[in-house]
Amino acid sequence: MSKLKDSLYKITKGSIYRLIHSVNPKSETLLRINGLIYEEIRGMLKNHLQDILRVVVLFTQENQQKTIMTKHVYPCLYDIPTSLTKSYEEDEDYCFYFAKKLFQNLVRELTYDLDMKLIYSDNALILLQMNEEHYLVSVIKNAIYNMHNGKRSTLLSKDLQAANRQMCDKKLLETISMKQIVDFEIKNILKFMFPKVSITLNATEKINMILNVVAQAIVKKANEMIEITKLSSRTLMYAVRVVLPGELAKHAVSEATRAISDENKLILSSNSVEPLLKSFTNANTHIAKDACLSLTAVLEYLAAEMLDLATSASRFSTINSKHILIAIENDEELNEMIFRLHIYN
């Protein structure tokens, strides 16, 4: 832990200062930086890099490889545009904001906690550094925009936090195929669980987004495994075990088994899930009724799990989008689920 802290603090204030001023070099007003910004950016770098590396390690282990190469890193990145990688390949004097060796030590320290045997190729480390610097530049741009909206000349840590939240929402929206968004009845589930607790529109949209991503990941994985032209609940449940982690998958499968035996126990309608199943399966594939019921039960269980944790976070008052994020961050299984979704989508 102390080694990791040392590696993180070797990302100097000078390099962070250059990064901030590169975003808006010729501004009309003098940009002042709050002293807490440096610590905030280091924390954001660590958290974002950890998220990426957990997906990269998972992806490499699935391919049964011991060396992490660019082909393992590139599919797991959210932010990096292809134009940036081309500019690096064409320009030998491409300049990074952070010192390469220091950044690479930080990456190795974070990877060591996940898998001690994995090693990196040089190009994979460069790709990771380009992605992280591009991510921080994007966050700082949004933070400066938030600062100007607040009619201030000093960049504060709350501007960075707001910018980071905006980017997370945008990424989640981009992951979903917009044509196939299904509107799940989140308020009905909450009313059944906690009749006196209310929920904001933003919070219901956030849960809807997550459920859509989960549903698409499960259906796509099940579609890969279909040998016969019929999608049954058995195939779908195998896909659930692959996409969802540990205990979450175990409870989701048991809820699906109950729903097949008694359809009336479901709060969500299975008719709303059927179009989503059809859109991600082949035209010749027959979708069994029990497959619709089992997927509905899985999504209902995940929604109930998120609402239960969010209600505790809100102290049984109105649930907003911040409480949903707290619920996911504080629960290890839900957090792991979000990391896995990027691979399967």
Q: Give me the torsion for CA of 242, 247, 251, 256, rounded to 10°.
A: 0
Q: How far apart are CA 182 and CA 212, in angstroms?
A: 7
Residue 32 per-residue DSSP state:
E
| Band of pLDDT at residue 308, cut at 50, 70 and 90 | very high
Residue 181, pLDDT score:
61
Residue 31 has pLDDT above 80, yes or no: no
Nearest to 213 by CA among 261, 181, 245: 181
Residue 172, pLDDT score:
57
Burial (Cβ within 10 Å: 0-12, 13-18, ≥19) of residue 55 = buried
* Residue 293 DSSP SS3: helix
Q: How far apart are CA 117 and CA 258, in angstroms?
A: 42
Superfamily of domain 178-344 in CATH is: Histone, subunit A (1.10.20.10)
Residue 336, pLDDT score:
77
* Residue 262 DSSP SS3: coil
- Backbone φ and ψ for 119, nearest 5 degrees, come out as -125, 165
What are the CB-based long-range contacts (under 8 Å, 24+) for 8-13?
Answer: 8/42, 8/45, 8/46, 8/106, 9/42, 10/99, 10/102, 10/105, 10/106, 11/42, 11/45, 11/98, 11/102, 11/103, 11/106, 13/38
When pLDDT is averaged across residues 242-268 and rounded to a whole number, the result is 85
Q: How far apart are CA 211 and CA 283, in angstroms?
A: 24
Within 13 A of 67's CA, how many CA atoms are on the CB side?
A: 7
Nearest to 330 by CA among 303, 299, 308: 308
When pLDDT is averaged across residues 322-333 and rounded to a whole number, the result is 84
Residue 210, pLDDT score:
86
Residue 85, pLDDT score:
56
Where do the H-state alpha helices sit in the chain?
Answer: 2-9, 13-23, 37-62, 70-73, 82-90, 100-114, 122-149, 157-175, 186-193, 201-225, 233-243, 246-261, 274-279, 289-313, 321-330, 332-344
* Residue 155 DSSP SS3: strand
What are the residue ranges spanned by the domains of the chain?
A: 2-173, 178-344
In this structure, which amino acid lies at residue 299? L
CA angle 253, 313, 164 (to 5 degrees): 90
Where is pLDDT greater, at 203 or 264? 203
β-bridge partners, 155: 33
In this structure, which amino acid lies at residue 107? V
CA separation (Å) from 298 to 187, 222, 231, 253, 277? 17, 14, 16, 7, 14
Percentage of the chain modeled with pLDDT above 90: 6
Residue 65 has pLDDT above 50, yes or no: yes
Same CATH topology for 2-173 and 178-344: the answer is: yes
Q: What is the mean pLDDT of the chain?
A: 80
Fold assignment, 2-173: Histone, subunit A (1.10.20)
Residue 36 has pLDDT above 70, yes or no: yes
When pLDDT is averaged across residues 98-112 and rounded to a whole number, the result is 88
Which of 18-22, 173-177, 240-244, 303-307 has the highest average model confidence (pLDDT)?
303-307
Q: Which two tokens stand for residue 299?
A: 């999504």
Residue 67 per-residue DSSP state:
E
Residue 309 has pLDDT above 70, yes or no: yes
